[in-house]
Chains A and B, each alone.
Chain A
Amino acid sequence: MDKKNAKDDRTDLVVQVRGLRFLRGRKVIFEDVDLDIRRGQVTAIMGPSGTGKTTLLRLLGGQLRPDAGTIVVDGEEVPRLSTKQLYRLRQRMGMLFQSGALFTDLDVFENVAFPLREHTDLPESIIRDLVLIKLQAVGLRGAASMMPAELSGGMARRVALARAIALDPMMIMYDEPFTGQDPISKGVIVQLVRLLNDALGMTSIVVSHDVSETAAIADYVYLISEGRVVGQGAPETLRRDASPWVEQFLNALPDGPVPFHYPAPDYLEDLLAGAGGG
């Protein structure tokens, strides 16, 4: 029975990361990180800016290679895949970049049609229908003929979301989807992430430092700081976590384990050192 449960657990995992170590030069970005992303769930990866959350997505997508550890996505060990195998895996993954990363020389329709044209031989009439369905899902069917430069930040991100789901991926990764959005756009994207995940039966990984928005839609949260997982669990469980780091991050406290002041010499000594010269 235990064996069967363990096997079910493994097939239930879309992403399994074990002992991840990643360096940039001599700087340690990740050290011994373990992560499990369950199928069908919205998993949030949260942490302060500069902790390597985007780097983690790039590692999952195979754009970066880890220095040690294993990264298994949908049963395939990403760092060991050939370019061809990696590209085949990526056809089952979608990614929403922080900037949207829309192709500026293509209009909204062509941006969403891009992956369909590249990976399928569908007739033009079906591509048109699929693009309009995806744009309708993000509420921007009426903006199909607009150029990316004419879109607001929130609209651009929704178009990028429509493009990311164009091939009906099994998993989608969101890189800071709420950053720089006005409250309405933020609310729309929050709703879309959850809605699309459930309606399309996807698995979502949301990298963010927006606590309330992310916690509202996440089934499971990983908190990362200084290259390690410092907390994990369902959002309500994490809120009860006694760890000072988790408390500081979730409650947006200015001081705590992450100090308000950047390391500096003693304040009084620093001031007096300047006074001696006068």
Chain B
Amino acid sequence: MGWIRFLGRIGLRFFERLGRGHLFLVQLLAALPSLLPRPGLVIRELYSAGVRSMLIVVVSGLFVGMVLGLQGYNTLSKFGAAESLGVLVALSLVRELGPVVTALLFAGRAGTSLTAEIGLMKATEQLSSMEMMAVDPIRRIMAPRFLAGFIAMPLLAAIFSAVGVLGGYFVGVGLLGVDSGVFWSQMQANVALHADVINGVIKSAVFGLVAAWIAVFEGYDAVPTSEGVSRATTRTVVNTALAVLALDFVLTALMYGVS
């Protein structure tokens, strides 16, 4: 009977946190209008979450694009379809790898930083002191970070995909001899704005919302000790990765069908 109780306890704890997280999301969304007269708060966080994540996103995008170029060329040339390399690289990046890998990188770079920052603010009583100064930390601290993460993610994913395409071009055209005109024209002819690009942007926006929400919530909900903040930071990466991968399947099924 002990294991049933154990499972019950884990289940209850899980659903309790899930409920707390969703209530927190409602509070975050309700706090967003208060940011309208204070865009400076969001711009500062955009710099922190977005601009400071650029380097890792650009470098990763370049390498992923180069690998796609190599792998794609080897496979396509077996079927005499090496001229489709541009399409393969672009579709892989815009539909899947751009949003997913950027979200994972975002969780590792900006998400952990957000969680640790908010968790430490909690541990050092900065959030409590803000409350006692009659300033709502959800409006002043959480909401700007959440909104900045939500805005930054699609932009970072777009940069990732663009740099990835360039990486694929360097390898395919520069190293492996694919014709430059064919590479770009095939891409232009076969990548659709709505079905591919817009769907990719929608995916990255959803992943941005989830990644920013998890990062901010984990910080706010962290046990205010050094161990608690460390655990919260780990949970940010793990939960974001799981949520992004699961949502990717759901969104892909909805956008492109399962039949």
Question: Contacts A97-B125, A104-B124, A118-B140: A63 and B134 contacting too (C-beta < 8 A)?
Answer: no
Cα separation A78 to B146 with both chains bound (whole Å): 31
Q: Are B134 and A101 in contact (CB under 8 A)?
A: no
Question: Contacts A99-B125, A101-B126, A103-B126: A91 and B134 contacting too (C-beta < 8 A)?
Answer: yes
Cα separation A102 to B124 with both chains bound (whole Å): 9
Distance in Å: Cβ of A176 to nearest Cβ of chain B: 12
Q: Are A114 and B125 in contact (CB under 8 A)?
A: no
Distance in Å: Cβ of B16 to nearest Cβ of chain A: 16
- B residues within 8 A CB of A104? 124, 126
Cα separation A219 to B133 with both chains bound (whole Å): 26
B132 beta carbon closer than 8 Å to chain A: yes
- A residues within 8 A CB of B134? 87-88, 90-91, 115, 118-119
A window 104-127: CB within 8 A of B: 104, 114-115, 118-119
Give the size range of B's interface with the partner: 10 to 19
A79 beta carbon closer than 8 Å to chain B: no
Q: Are B135 and A97 in contact (CB under 8 A)?
A: no
B136 beta carbon closer than 8 Å to chain A: yes
The tally of residues in A whose CB lies under 8 Å from a CB in B reads: 23
- A residues within 8 A CB of B128? 63, 97, 101
Q: Are A114 and B133 in contact (CB under 8 A)?
A: yes
Interface membership of chain B positions 127-160, coded 1 if the CB is closer than 8 angstroms to chain A and 0 otherwise:
0110111111000100000000000000000000
Cα separation A91 to B136 with both chains bound (whole Å): 12
Cα separation A160 to B129 with both chains bound (whole Å): 10
Cα separation A163 to B125 with both chains bound (whole Å): 15
Cα separation A166 to B126 with both chains bound (whole Å): 17
- B residues within 8 A CB of A227? none
A189 beta carbon closer than 8 Å to chain B: no
Give B135's nearest chain A residue, CB to CB: A118
A61 beta carbon closer than 8 Å to chain B: yes
Q: Are B140 and A101 in contact (CB under 8 A)?
A: no
A93 beta carbon closer than 8 Å to chain B: yes
Cα separation A76 to B135 with both chains bound (whole Å): 19
* The 4 A-B residue pairs with the shortest CB-CB distance in the complex, in nearest-first order: A101-B129, A90-B134, A101-B125, A87-B134
Q: List 7 A-B contacts (CB under 8 A).
A: A63-B128, A87-B134, A88-B134, A97-B125, A104-B124, A104-B126, A119-B134
